[in-house]
């Protein structure tokens, strides 16, 4: 602590300081020193893993333009516009409306609302040299032809203004939680950023840029590399000031803030140093470390804790005991590897003839892994996220029973959430259940309903490394490989499902029956489970990563699994039915999927 204060005094009060004239400066110094003290004592020392490899990768003079600058354009009926930076470089810029006119504008393939007054944000924030001015000009055009309006201009000045006592701003970040790849360390020198690469190639391409105007935030871009399909990375971030002890960076937002990152490629996190430390940091005394590991093989299950909004991974299946926290305050997802299976049924399966038109056998390939909910979503989980329990029938109510009486529109929304598969990037309304669920975890994870094909693939999975058709159960059997008997009750189904044949006719606590071979419970019976797809009777032409038909006369959505009131025929893996998106029905629930 003494070293922190000595450093602060040295940097803040010059030798020529006049105590008689600079009363205000003394006051500011006391306040800042107090803030520094509070921040310093709040940093818990941690041990940074060994194995860092230093590189000469520097980025000396560039800064990111922070989103949100307001530009005013002359009134116009323009439908499109183009942009040009004074240095001759083209940069993607999105224009977002703040006024009332509902025009559509596009630039570089980015669509936004248009009007007289605009906020601009960089899709990929503009990188600009410091100590320079750039003029951002907008040429208004209609159908590609410039119209007679005066060009609107906005000048962005990048010469920094001195902060309270510091000219520059911060240090930067990064880290990861276990290590297979190595460590990347990032020190920041007075508006100068030095990066260090990982000893292996899991982390590379690290660049750190302070934001303009300098506000204590640093954008860190980095690349994660793995040969694993649908890779999962564990990440952890460390910081260090001067000769002090290393500490965890706790005020980061972006890809990695929850310690788990999906997929290889470029990522970004932003560290808010003032939020964590209570003050900006003299960058010549700050550095950060990045520690990353490819944990794909260890992430059989991804677990989201709703009590503290943390995320973890494990190879151990959750407890299915009555009242287990895995059914209450945690949401568990099980990895399903990519593969090829036979969807539908054939004439050897009992009940096939009754549903032959909607169960045409065809081979389907899912090319990317995904994570399927281990349990049907429970009432307690739903209420914790959404703030209410929609279940109304007293016999159906129970914290660990599946939530029902929810609609497709409740889960995804009636606006963009209703557009699947027009948009297959999993858009949902922000106020929908899945919108709220995603926001709870910083919109860093995609929670949604499974597709029709994902649901059946997960149900039939034998849990082996064989991802050809022989690795999945086919026609004529339940998801444990036992024969479908064609009777009600069906003795082979009794251990797997809560259905009409066991005479209860009310939903049971989730996870009380035997799971399938990859540990998914209640894939047969209990409550009907909604899927993303628009309903169509014959889907045999959809064979690779199916998303369902683009449209249909009815826009019904697919449901699966059967429920506590249905006969065995509706509990089969091949059975498909449909619901109206706006309807809320008893026995209609859902199982969530996590998209890496």
Of 234, 269, 296, the residue at which a domain comes to its end is: 296
Do both 357 and 255 map to the same domain? no
- Which has more pLDDT, 150 or 282? 282
User: Do residues 250 and 175 touch, judged by C-beta distance below 8 A?
Assistant: no
Do both 289 and 344 map to the same domain? no
User: Which residues make beta-bridge pairs with 365?
Assistant: 340, 544
What are 296-320's pLDDT values in tens digits? 999 999 999 999 999 999 999 999 9
User: Which residues make beta-bridge pairs with 483?
Assistant: 477
Structure tokens at 206: 């690290």
User: Do residues 294 and 23 touch, judged by C-beta distance below 8 A?
Assistant: no
Which CATH number covers residue 512?
3.90.1580.10
Do both 261 and 344 map to the same domain? no
Main-chain phi, psi angles of 483, to 5 degrees: -70, 145
139: in domain:
yes
- Which has more pLDDT, 31 or 393? 393
- Number of structural domains in the chain: 2
Mean pLDDT of 93-111: 32
Range of the domain at 538: 337-367+378-429+451-590
H or E stretch at 244? none
Structure tokens at 59: 């980025």
Do both 54 and 124 map to the same domain? yes
Do both 287 and 386 map to the same domain? no
Torsion of CA 577, 582, 584, 588, to 10 degrees: 30
Do both 270 and 359 map to the same domain? no
Report the predicted TM-score, pTM, of the whole model to 2 decimal places.
0.77
Q: Where in 275-353 does DSSP place strands (E)?
A: 286-294, 301-305, 310-314, 330-336, 339-343
What are 189-241's pLDDT values in tens digits? 222 222 333 335 788 877 777 665 566 777 778 889 998 889 999 998 887 77
Task: Report the pLDDT value the prediction gives residue 177, as an integer from 0 to 100.
Answer: 30
Q: Where are the alpha helices (DSSP H) in 419-541?
A: 433-440, 452-460, 491-494
Query: d(Cα 312, Cα 555) in Å, to the nearest integer?
Result: 37
Do both 283 and 345 map to the same domain? no
Query: d(Cα 143, Cα 78) in Å, to the nearest integer?
Result: 8
Distance of CA 231 to the CA centre of its chain: 14
What are 337-376's pLDDT values in tens digits? 999 999 999 999 999 999 999 999 999 999 999 999 999 9
Task: Report the pLDDT value the prediction gives residue 210, as an integer from 0 to 100.
Answer: 67
Query: d(Cα 267, Cα 235) in Å, to the nearest integer?
Result: 12
Query: d(Cα 595, Cα 333) in Å, to the nearest integer?
Result: 10
Q: How many CB atoms lie within 10 A of CB 19?
A: 9
Do both 409 and 497 map to the same domain? yes
Do both 252 and 344 map to the same domain? no
Structure tokens at 406: 């929810």
């Amino acid at each position: 602590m003494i070293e922190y204060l000595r450093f602060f005094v040295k940097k803040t009060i010059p030798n020529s300081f006049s105590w008689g004239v600079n009363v205000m400066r003394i006051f500011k110094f006391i306040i800042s020193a107090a803030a520094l003290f509070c921040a310093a004592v709040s940093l818990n020392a941690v041990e940074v893993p060994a194995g860092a490899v230093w590189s000469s990768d520097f980025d000396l003079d560039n800064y990111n333009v922070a989103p949100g600058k307001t530009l005013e354009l002359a009134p116009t009926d323009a439908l499109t516009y183009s942009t040009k930076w004074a240095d001759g470089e083209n940069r993607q810029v999105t224009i977002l409306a703040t006024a009332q006119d509902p025009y559509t504008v596009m630039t570089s393939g980015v669509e936004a609302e248009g009007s007289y007054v605009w906020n601009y944000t960089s899709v990929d924030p503009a990188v600009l040299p410091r100590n320079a001015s750039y003029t951002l000009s907008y040429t208004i055009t209609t159908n590609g032809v410039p119209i007679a309006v005066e060009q609107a201009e906005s000048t962005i000045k990048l010469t920094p203004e001195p902060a309270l006592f510091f000219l520059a701003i911060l240090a930067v970040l990064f880290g990861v939680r276990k290590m297979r790849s190595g460590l990347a360390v990032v020190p920041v020198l007075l508006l100068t950023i030095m990066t260090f690469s990982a000893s292996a190639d899991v982390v590379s391409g690290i660049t750190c840029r302070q934001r303009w105007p300098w506000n204590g935030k640093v954008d860190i871009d980095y690349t994660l590399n793995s040969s694993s399909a649908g890779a999962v990375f564990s990440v952890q971030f460390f910081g260090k000031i001067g000769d002090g002890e290393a500490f965890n960076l706790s005020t980061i937002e972006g890809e990695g803030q929850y310690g788990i990152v999906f997929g290889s490629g470029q990522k970004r996190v932003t560290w808010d140093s003032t939020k964590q430390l209570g003050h900006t940091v003299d960058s010549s005394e700050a550095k950060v470390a990045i520690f990353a590991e490819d944990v794909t093989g260890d992430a059989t299950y991804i677990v989201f804790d709703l009590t503290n909004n943390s995320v973890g991974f494990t190879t151990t299946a959750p407890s299915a005991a009555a009242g287990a926290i895995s059914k209450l305050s945690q949401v568990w997802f099980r990895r399903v590897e990519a593969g090829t299976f036979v969807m539908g049924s054939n004439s050897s399966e009992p009940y096939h003839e009754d549903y032959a038109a909607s169960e045409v056998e065809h081979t389907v390939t899912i090319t990317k892994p995904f994570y399927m909910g281990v349990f049907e979503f429970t009432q307690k989980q739903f209420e914790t996220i959404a703030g209410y329990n929609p279940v109304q029938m007293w016999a159906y109510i129970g914290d660990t029973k599946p939530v029902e009486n929810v609609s497709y529109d409740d889960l995804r929304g009636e606006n963009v959430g209703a557009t699947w598969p027009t948009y297959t990037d999993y858009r949902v309304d922000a106020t929908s259940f899945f919108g709220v669920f995603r926001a709870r975890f910083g919109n860093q994870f995609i929670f949604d309903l499974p597709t029709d094909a994902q649901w059946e693939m997960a149900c039939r999975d034998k849990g082996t490394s064989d991802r050809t058709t022989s690795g999945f159960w086919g026609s004529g059997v339940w998801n444990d490989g036992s024969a479908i008997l064609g009777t009600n009750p069906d003795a082979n189904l009794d251990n797997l499902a809560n259905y009409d044949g066991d005479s209860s006719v009310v939903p049971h606590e989730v996870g009380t029956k035997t799971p399938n071979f990859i540990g998914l419970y209640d894939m047969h019976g209990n409550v009907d489970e909604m899927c993303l797809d628009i309903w169509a009777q014959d889907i045999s032409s959809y064979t690779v990563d199916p998303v369902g038909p683009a449209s249909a006369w009815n826009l019904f959505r697919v449901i699966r699994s059967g429920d506590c009131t249905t006969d065995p025929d509706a509990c089969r893996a091949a059975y498909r039915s449909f619901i109206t998106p706006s309807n809320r029905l008893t026995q209609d629930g859902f199982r969530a999927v996590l998209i890496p």
